Chain A
Amino acid sequence: MKETVPVRKIVIAGALGAVSIVLFLTKLGFISWIQGISLTVMHVPVIIGAVIEGPLVGGAIGLIFGVTSLIQAATAPNGPGDVFFVNPLVSVAPRILVGVAAWAVYAPFRGKLPAISLPLAGVVGSLTNSVLVLGALVALKALPLPAAAGIVLSNGLIEAVVAAVLTTAVVTAWKGIASKGGVSRVSKEG
């Protein structure tokens, strides 16, 4: 068996996958703004992974996160809409594509103009999530088209802005640390 995936890609996929699992399970990944409706930021680690390490890592994080939400929806659903996520077409496939889409808009910049490329990756990644998840629900006839379009326009657009802000903040912070040559910091805390 020959494999050429660098260790860094594997480890970063694992670590960011764990972040999205934790945000999901602790419910800290949800920001509720109107009773019963919440914004989600759990797909942001997927976007960050895609931006830092490419589509393979983004896709892997999306897969890990998607499967977690699938299992959670099946064994312990606790929010409106959770039921839909038992279907992998709703919970897994869109999340894998979030990473791929975010990378696809970020890659052409080749790391230049981070003030534009990072928010753009956040917006596109986030909208991919909303549109594909709700699109899958419409395709499965779980939700009529007008209702789905309404959710994309209300929640989806705000989520996209939030994702853009968080992606930019994390990636610039991380790139700043990396470029100063002090990448592993926890080890120096003794």
Chain B
Amino acid sequence: MKSIEFFRNVSIGQYMDTRSPVHALTPITKYLGLLALAVPILASVSWPGVALSFAAALAVSLAARIPVGFLLRGVKPAIPILVFTAVLQVVFAWPGDASAKLLSAGPVVVTAMEVRLAAMTSARMVALMAVIALFTSVTTERETAYGIEDFFAPLARIGFPAHALALAVAMSFRFVPIIAGELEAIVRAQASRGGDFGASGSGPIRKARAYAPLFVPVVVRALERAEILVEAMESRRYSGANRTRYATFKMAEGEILVRLSVAALGVAGTFVGIRFR
């Protein structure tokens, strides 16, 4: 057991407040931007679509005054894994691969298709990393949660539980430190009784069984906490309908233009990614 103090270094993504115009956009626009950059990367069968999104992400980060190194901080630890993936893709032969052979060493034949696949996988991952890191660095926790409700507001009219989903996400954020604290208490309690989680014994099933004394109380305690909150909310007659909000997001002047151009970029990027090879 390396450390019992878990929740001191728990973080998901990282917000970087530079008070730029990008930070001031409403959550809807930020979500739209995330989609507009991520969809072309996922849909692309070739590099131009990926490159377009990547370039756009770098341009936005410049406007948001987020250092490019900060966006790509996930790439360096990922390099060995990207290399490993590339090796896997090259070593295993793909069925129906009729492309030119570039190199052959014993049973291993490197073909043009394999090289192209490996390069695309890496490029796609790096571009997605940049886009997601960009989103988390310009969007606060509260904007992330409320943004879900705002973004899905049109769907809420036909019954999509936008408000409920946003509330569940916001609650998850709030519950994380509490659950982490519970977990810490339980690990300490079990450790003081001589328990160690899966460290001893061999065989996966035995290890998993040793894990149950940690997992079961954590989940049951979380459910108990949830039950208390349910009681508190119901006794105050909580209802999702017609609620007002403490935090409201106002569109800046000309933001509608930003939304339109972002949407256009997304469509163009997807088209380029699918069409050009």
**B3 to chain A: closest residue by CB:** A26
Contact of B176 with A22 in the complex, beta carbons under 8 Å: yes
**B117 to chain A: closest residue by CB:** A141
B259 at the interface (CB under 8 A from A): no
Please measure, in the bound complex, the distance between the C-alpha atom of A166 and the C-alpha atom of B132, giving whole angstroms: 33
List 5 additional A-B contacts (Cβ < 8 Å) besides A1-B156, A75-B129: A14-B175, A15-B172, A75-B132, A83-B125, A87-B42
A17-B168, A142-B85 as given contacts; A147 in contact with B92, CB under 8 Å: yes
Contact of B14 with A75 in the complex, beta carbons under 8 Å: yes
Contact of A186 with B179 in the complex, beta carbons under 8 Å: no
Contact with A along B242-273 (1 / 0, CB 8 A): 10000000000000000000000000000000
**A142 to chain B: closest residue by CB:** B121
A3-B240, A26-B10, A162-B205 as given contacts; A31 in contact with B211, CB under 8 Å: yes
Please measure, in the bound complex, the distance between the C-alpha atom of A188 and the C-alpha atom of B78, giving whole angstroms: 48
Please measure, in the bound complex, the distance between the C-alpha atom of A122 and the C-alpha atom of B7, giving whole angstroms: 28
Contact with A along B230-243 (1 / 0, CB 8 A): 11011000101110
Contact of B10 with A187 in the complex, beta carbons under 8 Å: no
A116 at the interface (CB under 8 A from B): no
Please measure, in the bound complex, the distance between the C-alpha atom of A184 and the C-alpha atom of B229, giving whole angstroms: 9
Please measure, in the bound complex, the distance between the C-alpha atom of A22 and the C-alpha atom of B202, giving whole angstroms: 26
Interface residues of A in 1-60 (CB under 8 A from B): 1-3, 5, 7-19, 21-23, 25-26, 28, 31-33, 39, 41, 44-45, 48, 52, 56, 60
User: Given the complex, which residues of B lie within 8 Å of A74, measured CB to CB?
Assistant: 74, 128-129, 131-133
User: Given the complex, which residues of A lie within 8 Å of B164, measured CB to CB?
Assistant: 3, 5, 9-10, 60
Contact of A15 with B156 in the complex, beta carbons under 8 Å: no
Contact of B132 with A19 in the complex, beta carbons under 8 Å: no
A14-B175, A75-B136, A166-B212 as given contacts; A31 in contact with B207, CB under 8 Å: yes
Contact of B204 with A186 in the complex, beta carbons under 8 Å: no
B209 at the interface (CB under 8 A from A): yes
Contact of A75 with B133 in the complex, beta carbons under 8 Å: yes
Contact check: which of B88, B117, B171 meets A15 at CB < 8 Å? B171
**B156 to chain A: closest residue by CB:** A1
B52 at the interface (CB under 8 A from A): no
A143 at the interface (CB under 8 A from B): yes
Q: A residues near B, CB below 8 A?
A: 1-3, 5, 7-19, 21-23, 25-26, 28, 31-33, 39, 41, 44-45, 48, 52, 56, 60, 63-64, 68, 70-78, 80-84, 86-89, 140-144, 146-147, 158, 161-162, 165-166, 169-170, 173-174, 177, 183-187
Contact of A166 with B215 in the complex, beta carbons under 8 Å: yes
Contact of B198 with A31 in the complex, beta carbons under 8 Å: yes
Contact of A14 with B133 in the complex, beta carbons under 8 Å: no
> How many chain B residues touch A (Cβ–Cβ < 8 Å)?
87
User: Given the complex, which residues of A lie within 8 Å of B6, measured CB to CB?
Assistant: 22, 25-26, 28
User: Given the complex, which residues of A lie within 8 Å of B167, measured CB to CB?
Assistant: 10, 14
Contact of B172 with A18 in the complex, beta carbons under 8 Å: yes
B22 at the interface (CB under 8 A from A): no
Contact of A183 with B124 in the complex, beta carbons under 8 Å: no
A74-B74, A77-B77 as given contacts; A15 in contact with B204, CB under 8 Å: no
**B38 to chain A: closest residue by CB:** A88
Q: State the Cβ distance, B208 to closest chain A Cβ, in Å.
A: 4
Contact check: which of B84, B131, B198, B230 meets A80 at CB < 8 Å? B84
Q: Can you give 24 A-B contacts (C-beta < 8 A)?
A: A7-B230, A8-B226, A10-B171, A13-B172, A14-B168, A14-B171, A18-B175, A18-B222, A19-B218, A21-B179, A39-B207, A75-B133, A80-B81, A82-B78, A87-B125, A141-B94, A143-B88, A144-B94, A158-B205, A161-B205, A166-B212, A170-B215, A170-B219, A184-B228
User: Given the complex, which residues of B lie within 8 Å of A64, measured CB to CB?
Assistant: 168-169, 172
